[in-house]
Amino acid sequence: MPGPGDILVVDDTMTTLMMLLALLSTQGFQVSSAQSGAEALDLAQKHPPDLILLDYSLPDMDGVAVCRDLKLNPRTRDIPVIFLSSIADADIRVEGFAAGAVDFIAKPFERSELLARVNTHLDLSRLKQRLSKLVEEKTESLRLSEQRFRALIEQAPEAIMVFDKDTGRFVDANRQAERLTGRPLQTLIGLTPGDLYSAEQPDGLPAMETVRMHAARAMQGEVQVFERVIQRPDGETVPCEVRLSKLPSETGHLLRVSYIDISSRMASQEKINRLAYFDNLTGLYNHSGLLEQLHALCALSDEERPPFALLLIDLGDFKYINDVYGNRIGDLLLSCVADRLRQLAGSTGHAGRLGGIEFVLLQTGIANAKTAQALASQVLDTITAPFAVDEMMLSIAANIGVSLGAPHGCNGQELLRDADMALYQAKQRGTRHIELYQAEMGKQMRERIELEKELRHAIEKGQLVLHYQPQIELASGQVVGVEALVRWQHPKKGMISPGQFIPIAEQSGLILPLGRWVLREACQQLRRWHDKRCGLDIKMAVNLSVAQFTDQELPEFVAGVLKETGIAPASLELEITESCTMLSPQQSIRMMQQFRAMGVHSSIDDFGTGHSSLSYLTRFPVDTLKIDQSFIRNIASDEKDTALCDTIAYLAHRMDLRVVAEGVETKEQLTFLSSIQVDVVQGYLLCKPVPAAEAEAFILQRASFSPQAGVEYF
């Protein structure tokens, strides 16, 4: 049995590349990767894979150019190429198929769909290679002698017939041809191709016209490969792949015609189409299927196109239900949501699931914003009404973004994008909100895209800087640590707050290089302070994003930075938010254990705001808990926050953990934190985040403090 196969993944987005490598490797595939077209061509030439997953957009050349180059190279031309693309435009697909691709997979992709397509095309490629090789071997043998020709033609697994171009009729056939066509040899000899073929053919052209065309090309030495449908005498039709090639002959113009039954392949293709256009769980249209319906609607003339609205629905708190009750209940709930949307769509609309927790309703007959608002309200009420799932009543929250089809021309991709922007605005307002797309949203999105483009070059242009907020030990009044906080000093827009660019970095995948820059720069700054004999005992605290914390290469990178800068591992503290640790507790534990083995400290940031379990907290190899500033802010007015801070401090100390309180802004807060024996504090009352030089001066100023018994220093 052959192995799963070798796959080359070509994508310049590291997040997508790592996701594909992990997914395919776990399925047993041997996976290699490239991030540019040139690198992909080089790897394919040196070590031809069994299949290539090729991103449509690459930094040095587009995927179509890469595909064409592969098909021009005899060493790589037979490798199946599947495009990965977030663009579903039909012209782009046509261009990709013309370049030699065998399939398209839309981004973001479904795991099951991707694996199904990969496995199917690998199987088809192997079958094609095996059959082609066998046919070529038989053809070569036929040239040796007329006697061996008959033996070989009978042993071939496919139906083979000999066609005389001069008479336009078949003059010989093997037993497989008898079985395939349902006709005995005596009947086959003397028939024309038109006698065998069904009236309707894949190319839609008259049968005899295409026979003459292919025969003429085959006589010139070209091997013709195409599809035909054979009709048996009982009326049954058989789809076949036809290979037409010239036979040596001294008496006439003979062609070898082989027919391969591709019924199984067609069934597989139908399955692929089903996976390509419909969601496997709910049976609704998926992203590609929905876009097909949108494109069909937009392709109608202004007079023929009915008014319509596109509703994008997000199930905001589904993840919590899925985590509590498990995937089985979650899948049942999603299916129930799909059933309700299907009923709402009726015969005049379409329902779809874009993946995860996003659903779509495409409804005609919606002519204005008022009608669209009413429809969205009906959908919201329907979706948020309780569901009876496995003898339980479950309710979910939802938000809806709406875009209206333009009365004069429309674009499906743009309408979906507009609905997505409206949904984003609705989610910003909370839950159970509806937003209709407005032109201003597009302006805001363009500004965001522009900011993302500039952020990509901010690191190399030296526009990012670190500010440091001192952390002060209550017992001594001295600085025992600093938290590194990134800032963007834009040359035209001035100082851009992290609240503006960090979410963009996380959504665009830039958070990984940005986070690595912050970690290295913070450690280098600590090295500079150590060289000045300043802050020898302080810790440098660096925040980790979700993407960083799930990066398997992070421990190796941290070790490299420590070696490069020469600072002690114990001087570095990596801060992970509570919600981040609970995304995958077991993975979080493994990552923290690697940090601890290196001597690096770990801290749980924003403690109390997530949904962590105390049982996991006892297993996390952490050194510090940071009380979230939202609790500190309300200490003076909210007894619950006061009690919670007291409890967190008591719990942490019983577990031998250090307690840090952030966001300290008033003396009352500081006094309370001292009373519950918080170890370290930071906040604007003491020192705001400042550039390195100001932080250094503050550290030196605090270093001269000499605590005396009974004296309060804050």
State pTM to two decimals: 0.48
Task: Give the Cα separation of 581 and 579 in Å (integer).
Answer: 6
Mean local confidence (pLDDT), 599-627? 75
Amino acid identity, position 155: Q
pLDDT at 251: 64
Residue with tokens 């789809």: 239
Cβ–Cβ under 8 Å, residues 529 and 501? no
Give the least confident one: 228-242, 285-299, 300-314, 396-410. Answer: 396-410
pLDDT at 605: 82
What angle do helix axes 511-531 and 692-703 make, rounded to 10 degrees? Answer: 40
Residue with tokens 């659903």: 359
Query: Which residue, among 506, 466, 469, has the nearest Cα to 487 in the 3D structure?
Result: 466
Interior angle at CA 77, CA 74 and CA 80, nearest 5: 155
CA distances from 657 to 573, 603, 624 (A): 13, 9, 5
Domains of the chain: 6-131 (3.40.50.2300), 156-267 (3.30.450.20), 278-437 (3.30.70.270), 470-487+518-701 (3.20.20.450)
Task: Give the Cα separation of 351 and 379 in Å (integer).
Answer: 12
Mean local confidence (pLDDT), 363-376? 91
Task: Give the Cα separation of 371 and 714 in Å (integer).
Answer: 61
Task: Give the Cα separation of 344 and 559 in Å (integer).
Answer: 56
DSSP labels for 308-345? EEEEEEE-TTHHHHHHHH-HHHHHHHHHHHHHHHHHHH
Residue pLDDT, tens place only, 333-369: 999 999 999 999 998 899 999 888 899 999 998 889 8
What's the gap between Cα 165 and its chain centre?
A: 53
Quick one: which H or E segment has residue 575?
A: strand 572-577
Residue 380 has pLDDT above 80, yes or no: yes
Residue 443 has pLDDT above 80, yes or no: no
DSSP labels for 4-43? S-EEEEE-S-HHHHHHHHHHHHHTT-EEEEESSHHHHHHH
Query: Which residue, among 707, 705, 703, 648, has the nearest Cα to 677 in the 3D structure?
Result: 648
Report the DSSP beta bridge partners of residue 163. Answer: 170, 255
The tally of CA atoms less than 13 A away on the side-chain side of residue 31 is 19
Give the least confident one: 464-478, 641-655, 698-712. Answer: 698-712
Residue 467 has pLDDT above 90, yes or no: yes
